[in-house]
Amino acid sequence: MKEYTIRTQKIKKNTVKLRLIIFGSLAVILLLCSVFSEHLTPYDPYLQDLSCAKAPPSAAHWFGTDRYGRDMLSRVIAGSRASIYSTLLLVLIITVIGTCVGVFCGWYGRWIDTVLMRISDMFLAFPGLVFALAVAGVLGGGLQNAIIALTAISWPKYARIARSQTLAQKEMTYFKAARLSGSSTLKIIIRHLLPNIIGPILVTSMLDIGTMMMELAGLSFLGLGAKPPTAEWGSMMSDARSLLTTVPWVTLSPGIAIFISVMIFNLLGDTIRDYADPKSRR
């Protein structure tokens, strides 16, 4: 029975590693495609040619063309840069802000902790996307304002994780020893605290990439994100939604790109969560 358990755990560990390699490679390929999108597009994504407007998918235009004759494959590839880069920037911002707030609250506590946590409760009390719509509407739309709007509603989750981890680490013996050694607060936080709390935060941020990509695309679809003619998947779907019944490839092409990207990052996040689980590394 013990040998069977050990064999099962080993198979599970190898499976998790294989998944990590596969989904990590797919994510890297996706990022490289967005980095070199300018060199991968077969046509100019902004070049209009009304003579071939609304052309169906063919050997010349794999994803067809839109109402202005622009190649959809080129626009989808070009749109990956704005969509993926803005998503990664958003996740980075909310991770840093939330972690800083959480560590600050967990370290100092008292009235500062109470005030900041009640503020985070206020943000969490509102439906996320509805609140983002309100903030983006006040700011006037645009991709930059959409990132600001989603940042305003997304940081509390990371703040709570960082706060709980900080409070737990403060009770550990090694942490008390570091404080008694006379190390400065900044040195203790950087050398001892952050390395021990960053794991759950990074896993959460990886799982959040797909969600943030969907929400950014949603704001752009509603006209509060990237503006046409900028190649961005959400705005491309919004611009072509009236053509869904007549020339569906114009709307479905960026939608499929969003689906594939979100699926890859979600699967990668799930795999990293499983890999970070101590039980999977026994």
CATH 3.40.50.10310 fits 2-281, yes or no: no
Buried b (16+ CB within 10 A) or exposed e, 170-192: eeeeebeebeeeeeeeeebbeeb
Helix (H, G, I), strand (E, B) or coil at 91: helix
d(CA 246, CA 235): 19
Which residues, in sequence order, are bridge partners of residue 65? 71
pLDDT band (50, 70, 90) for residue 260 = very high
Higher-confidence residue: 212 or 10?
212
List pLDDT tens digits, range 87-105. Answer: 999 999 999 999 999 999 8
Question: Confidence band (pLDDT; 50, 70, 90) for 1?
Answer: low
- Residue 121 tokens, joined: 């409760």
Q: Is residue 141's pLDDT more than 80?
A: no
Q: Secondary structure of 106-153 in the HEC alphabet?
A: HHHCHHHHHHHHHHHHHHHHCCHHHHHHHHHHHHCCCHHHHHHHHHHH
Tokens of 80: 């990956």
Closest alpha carbon to 19 in 244, 272, 234: 272
- Entry field: residues in the chain: 282
Q: What is the pLDDT of residue 225?
A: 80
**What is the DSSP-derived secondary structure letter of residue 1?**
-
DSSP result, 44-69: -TT---GGGTTPPS-SS-TT-B-TT-
Average pLDDT, the chain: 85
Torsion from C-alpha of 198, 83, 207, 264, nearest 10 degrees = -120
CA dist., res. 264 & res. 24, Å (int): 9
Mapping DSSP to helix (H, G, I), strand (E, B) and coil, where does residue 71 land? strand
Q: Which two tokens stand for residue 62?
A: 């794999």
Q: How far apart are CA 189 and CA 184, in angstroms?
A: 9
- pLDDT attached to residue 90: 92
In angstroms, the CA 41 to CA 36 distance is: 9
Rounded to two decimals, the pTM is: 0.86
User: Tens digit of pLDDT for each residue in 28-60?
Assistant: 999 999 889 888 899 888 888 888 888 889 888
pLDDT given at position 87 = 92
